Amino acid sequence: MSDLDFNEIVNLICKEDTRFDRKAYSFLREGLDYAVKELKKKETERSKQSLHVSGAELLMGIRAYALDQYGPLTLTVLNSWGINRCGDFGEIVFNLIEYNVFSKTENDRREDFGEVYTFEDAFVKPFQPKNPRSGATLISPRVPSA
């Protein structure tokens, strides 16, 4: 699928479902590519066949890709696109499945994108000091609830 086709489809999706910014769809597509590439490196036998990525595998790949791309700003960037929890990635995936951009197996479900990690654990804690000075209080940014 060409980028133009993908962008046209995302425009159609965003007209129907306004929860997520268009950039969230492109990011998810890039995150999928990243996840597949990383899985192929780790699992050479599995990479010889068509590689289906589970919801949990995709979420872990997205996490690594997001941290690589945006570092300590990851949470802010994702929130600005309307993504506040793991389940939001599942909603985006299933929007793309409905438009035949992604495929799914008969076992794939939205629930596969349940809370594999919290956004605070995934995107805030990696950047907090490991050993704060005694008496110092760490203030975490507020993670919006769904």
Q: Is 29 inside any structural domain?
A: yes
Confidence tier at 124 by pLDDT (50, 70, 90): very high
Alpha helices (H) along 1-146: 3-16, 22-42, 44-47, 55-70, 74-80, 86-98, 119
Residue 9's pLDDT is: 97
Q: Is 134 inside any structural domain?
A: no
Q: Alpha-carbon distance 119 to 117, whole Å?
A: 6
Quote the number of domains for the chain.
1
Q: Alpha-carbon distance 85 to 78, whole Å?
A: 9
Q: Is 142 inside any structural domain?
A: no
Mean of per-residue pLDDT scores for the chain: 90
Amino acid at 136: A
User: How far is CA 103 from each of CA 41, 52, 71, rounded to the nearest angstrom?
Assistant: 22, 9, 30
Q: Is 140 inside any structural domain?
A: no
Burial (CB count within 10 angstroms: exposed 0-12, middle 13-18, buried 19+), residue 20: buried
For residues 120-137, average pLDDT? 82
Q: Is 114 inside any structural domain?
A: yes
Residue 64's pLDDT is: 98
The tens digit of pLDDT for each residue in 54-101 reads 999 999 999 999 999 999 999 999 999 999 999 999 999 999 999 999
Q: What is the DSSP letter of 9?
A: H
Domain of residue 106, residue span: 3-127
Q: Is 101 inside any structural domain?
A: yes
The model scores a pTM over 0.85:
no
